[in-house]
């Protein structure tokens, strides 16, 4: 499984703020949008394009258009925090949703919602901020492939080696774009050093 860990200084700067435990939800959301926007540039750099021309006020100019539609697929609920920049930046995008709920005792996720648009001929883009055990991401990718999605890619904020290994075994062709590959999982399957519960911090529901 190809893994692309961004080395962009602006990604690192945004990640610093996301990791800081005193960052309030409103600032956390701003930093998350900045970071995802930058990762999105990297994740879409190889999209197929169509070459043509446009007429400027002065002359004809060569022009490029994105050829294939992207289907953004956030994993509920935390993945919703990654969706905004995708909708704003991509010229052709539709949205699907996958709901996965983690059992805190077993760290295994169950599927409670699955709504995907037509995927054949499109580029599936899985949005899930934390690649921890890899179980949720692998389940979501299973659903994407069952729905006809081919060559999906994934954007996450932070990844753990354990999650990367699971995707390497179950979905070796999937390209993962992340801001950091962290040290490990703790005994509760949380990423260390990580940044806590992304969804709680994003929506201000912690505590």
Span 125-135, average pLDDT = 94
Q: How far is 155 from 140, CA to CA, in rounded Å?
A: 13
Span 102-106, average pLDDT = 65
* Catalytic residue annotation: 102, 106, 197, 200
How crowded is residue 19: how many other Cβ atoms within 10 Å of its Cβ? 18
| pTM higher than the cut 0.85 | yes
Half-sphere exposure of 105 (CA within 13 A, CB side): 0
Residue 169 — left, alpha, or beta (φ > 0 → left; ψ -120 to 50 → alpha)? Answer: alpha
Contact predicate 33/82, CB 8 Å? no
With a cut of 60, say whether residue 115 has pLDDT above it: yes
How far does Cα 76 stand from its chain's mean position?
12
With a cut of 90, say whether residue 199 has pLDDT above it: no
Q: Domain limits of the chain?
A: 3-203
Would you tell me which CATH number, out of the four given (3.90.330.10, 3.40.50.2020, 3.30.470.20, 3.30.230.10), belongs to the domain 3-203?
A: 3.40.50.2020
pLDDT in tens, 55-98: 999 999 999 999 889 999 999 888 998 999 999 999 889 999 99
Span 103-116, average pLDDT = 77
pLDDT in tens, 169-195: 999 999 999 999 999 999 988 999 999
């Amino acid at each position: 499984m190809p893994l692309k860990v961004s080395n962009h200084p602006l990604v690192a700067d945004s990640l610093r703020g996301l990791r800081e435990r005193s960052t309030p939800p409103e600032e956390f959301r701003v930093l998350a949008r900045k970071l995802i926007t930058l990762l999105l540039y990297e994740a879409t750099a190889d999209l197929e394009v169509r070459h043509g021309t446009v007429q400027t006020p002065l002359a004809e100019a060569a022009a490029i258009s994105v050829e294939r539609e992207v289907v953004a697929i956030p994993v509920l609920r935390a993945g919703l925090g990654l969706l905004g920049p995708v909708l704003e930046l991509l010229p052709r995008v539709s949205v699907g949703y996958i709901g996965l709920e983690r059992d805190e005792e077993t760290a295994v996720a169950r599927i409670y919602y699955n709504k995907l648009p037509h995927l054949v001929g499109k580029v599936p883009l899985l949005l899930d901020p934390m690649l921890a055990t890899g179980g949720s991401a692998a389940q979501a990718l299973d659903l994407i492939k069952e729905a006809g999605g081919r060559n999906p890619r994934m954007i996450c904020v932070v990844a753990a080696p354990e999650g990367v290994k699971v995707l390497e075994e179950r979905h070796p062709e999937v390209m993962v774009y992340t801001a950091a590959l962290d040290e490990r999982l703790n005994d509760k399957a949380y990423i260390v050093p990580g940044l806590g519960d992304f969804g709680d911090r994003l929506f201000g529901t912690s505590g």
